[in-house]
Amino acid sequence: MSTLRLVLGDQLSDSLSALRDLNPAQDVVLMFEVHEEASYVPHHQQKLVLVLAAMRHFAQRLRARGVRVDYVRLDDPHNRGSFSAELARALERHRSRRLIVTHPGEWRVLEMLRSWPQRFGLQLELREDERFLCPLPEFQRWARGKRQLRMEFFYRLMRQKTGWLMHGDQPEGGAWNFDADNRKPLGDDVVPPPRLGFAPDELTQAVMALVRARYGHHFGELDTFAWPVTREQALQQLDAFIAHGLPQFGDYQDAMRQNQDWLFHSALSPALNLGLLLPREVCEAALAAHARGAAPLNAVEGFLRQILGWREYVRGIYWTFMPEYAQRNHLEAQRPLPEFFWSGQTQMNCLRECIRNTREHAYAHHIQRLMVIGNFALLAGLDPLEVQRWYLLVYADAFEWVELPNVHGMVLHADGGLLGSKPYAASGAYIERMSDYCRHCVYQVRLKNGPKACPFNYLYWDFLQRHQDKLGGNPRLAMPYRTLQRLPAARREAITQDAARFLDSLQ
């Protein structure tokens, strides 16, 4: 009797634990494209093409190695549209009741897998996802008993564990991070490297046609699709970033510029989250560049922190606190998502620009997501469930394990400070400092109140006023709250009125 090995759409790695000890003579790899996964949220069209095209290329890769692959396409007339229904058909085709699968990336999928043994009389072997650098039991041992889980301390632990950028037990350069060196605004004389894009091959073009036909009503544009869909392409993208982006990534990782969608960012997260690249090899490529003098310490440390620190950390948060974590709403935010999150039609140029980038590429870099779109969602009190759903469907790299903690914890402070020590709230001054967006805006960032003032300015202070009972005792907000208390009563009333006028206009 053959053993079936299920490979999910974000598990496209040769080293996947479900493929370990595979016997090509007896075992069959199952891969399913199902409408259920394409539509549980209406994913960006480019995200759908990326996942489906990468899956089809990975199946080709396995077959070239002599592996038997039972692959069900979305447009197969017999496709029943769900993982469970397709598994039932596969069990009958192969007359097997033994299934091996690697731990999935989403809670709802794990719950589905756990139901299969009883439902189908199945022997299920669920293996750990060994592609990550911190096993979940290790993270949970670190988290046990702590009231607050600070990424910085987890990151230091991971640096010590790996020995990366360490001299004995001390960090290279005498500091654990170089954030202070990584906040330079992008001068007009700084020219970012062009994006390395990949023309869709025949297989990917067929997927694009399928997505247009079935999901053309979903958010996003498709004609600009240029993501890597094979491991070879992903390795080329990694090499291009190490050579051309990493040397200046540190200096300008927080910068933003009008009509510049990529800057010095790697844009490797879709390939990483699909499994086309592994976090260890990506980190080691950056470390090797530093060792040969091709990339400065602040750039390599900043890049390392995103992967070794933040990426591993949010995965640990997700699997330690789900499913309850997804329902948290510490600030009791309830405002519906404004229509311009879909259309981009807003007079706030920074939001218009970041949403345009998202619509055209299924991508925006972390500061655009956090300090422009996310900052607005926080200050406006948007419903966390609606915001989380939006982030999950619009970005090519958004899988729930990484997206949900970022949105609930870092963007919206909905978890009450488990993940972040304070809300990431800012006025228009931050956006002016880190971008040229304000130059192109009808609002005036230097004005604090009135119809021509940047809405971020009065929304910021109104946010602090509204939530003083929950945030007033936060030591990291002591300075802005002291400033708020010193404002004249007339100014505070103007803030309240401006914020109410603006927020009412969103409906």
Tell me the CATH number at 274.
1.25.40.80
Residue 298 located in a structural domain: yes
140 & 116 share domain: no
Question: Mind listing the pLDDT tens digit for each residue in 208-252?
Answer: 999 999 999 999 999 999 999 999 999 999 999 999 999 999 999
Question: Mind listing the pLDDT tens digit for each residue in 321-338?
Answer: 999 999 999 999 999 999
Cα angle 458, 463, 465; round to 5: 95
Distance CA 115, CA 463 (A): 44
420 & 298 share domain: no
Question: Mind listing the pLDDT tens digit for each residue in 140-197?
Answer: 999 998 888 999 999 999 999 999 999 999 999 999 998 887 788 888 899 999 999 9
Supply the CATH number for residue 404's domain.
1.10.579.10
Task: Write down which residue in 76, 93, 127 finishes a domain.
Answer: 127
Residue 217 located in a structural domain: yes
240 & 346 share domain: no
The model's pTM: 0.96
Residue 495 located in a structural domain: yes
What per-residue confidence (pLDDT) applies to 184? Answer: 87
Residue 178 located in a structural domain: yes
174 & 69 share domain: no
Residue 334 located in a structural domain: no
227 & 143 share domain: yes
Residue 409 located in a structural domain: yes
Distance CA 431, CA 243 (A): 29
Question: Mind listing the pLDDT tens digit for each residue in 355-393?
Answer: 999 999 999 999 999 999 999 999 999 999 999 999 999
Distance CA 310, CA 289 (A): 21
Distance CA 262, CA 245 (A): 10
CB 159 within 8 Å of CB 308: yes
Residue 313 located in a structural domain: no
145 & 278 share domain: yes
283 & 258 share domain: yes
Task: Write down which residue in 248, 283, 307 finishes a domain.
Answer: 307
88 & 111 share domain: yes
Task: Write down which residue in 257, 283, 307 finishes a domain.
Answer: 307
189 & 283 share domain: yes
DSSP 4-54: EEE--TT---TT-GGGTT--TTT-EEEEE--HHHHHTTT--HHHHHHHHHH
Give the domain range for residue 18: 4-127
170 & 233 share domain: yes
- For residue 473, which amino acid is it? G
73 & 123 share domain: yes
Report the sign of the C-alpha dihedral through residues 444, 449, 452, 453, in that order.
Answer: positive
174 & 113 share domain: no
> In what order do the strands lie in the sheet containing 123-127?
68-72, 28-32, 4-6, 98-102, 123-127
Residue 145 located in a structural domain: yes
